[in-house]
Amino acid sequence: MMATTFWSPDGRPISAADFVARLFGELPALFRDEDELRALWSRPDTRRALLDSLAERGFGGDQLHEVERMIDAERSDLYDVLAYIAFALPPVTRAERAEGRRASIFSHYDAKLQAFLGFVLSQYVREGVGELDQAKLPQLLELRYRAVSDAAAELGGVARIRDAFVGFQAHLYAR
């Protein structure tokens, strides 16, 4: 059994409903509309900055994952949790998002990068949005190719891999 405790900024325990209400009230300071949220979430660097801003405001990863469970979105992305709270958008599972965007993503890359990005998408579906963080890229390359140097030789260089890894995410979160 596991329990998540929610705390107010002044250190008092609060209910989950109060936590979600506070989160709803704070989100307009972080993004104006769905398009801005989508733009922030579509890039690993701005997504990390948004998550850091949320954590600084008292909305850390554990609490957001608990909200995921509350809205029955455990197989969804944290993007969907934020979109649900801010704009009442129904959550989409990571698998639905990946499959729905696969053709659009692959249309921009050659077969070798498609194979790697297909692997990244499968990791995203299985593990979550953390797999799309730039810090995970070396681990993903080693998992798939055994060494970053082997991946660079196979896929056309580190810069090309990085550009594809960052670039495909805009297609993953596109409307």
For 8-65, the pLDDT digits (tens) are 777 788 777 888 888 899 999 999 999 999 999 999 999 999 999 999 998 888 889 8
- Looking at residue 87, its pLDDT comes to 96
Rounded-to-integer distance, Cα 118 and Cα 106, Å? 9
Domain residue extents for the chain:
12-87, 94-172
The torsion defined by the Cα of 122, 125, 130 and 131, in degrees rounded to 10, comes to 0
Segment 108-136 shows an average pLDDT of: 97
For residue range 99-113, list pLDDT tens digits in order.
999 999 999 999 999
More confident residue, 137 or 9: 137
Q: Whole-model pTM?
A: 0.89
User: 3-class DSSP state for residue 150?
Assistant: helix
- Percent of the chain predicted with pLDDT > 90: 78
Give the pLDDT band (50/70/90) at residue 153. Answer: very high
- Looking at residue 163, its pLDDT comes to 98
CA neighbor of 57 nearest in space, from 18, 8, 21: 8
CA–CA distance from 45 to each of 18, 21, 49, 111, 125 (Å)? 30, 27, 6, 26, 20
Given a contact cutoff of 8 angstroms between Cβ atoms, the answer to whether 71 and 81 are in contact is: yes
- Looking at residue 33, its pLDDT comes to 96
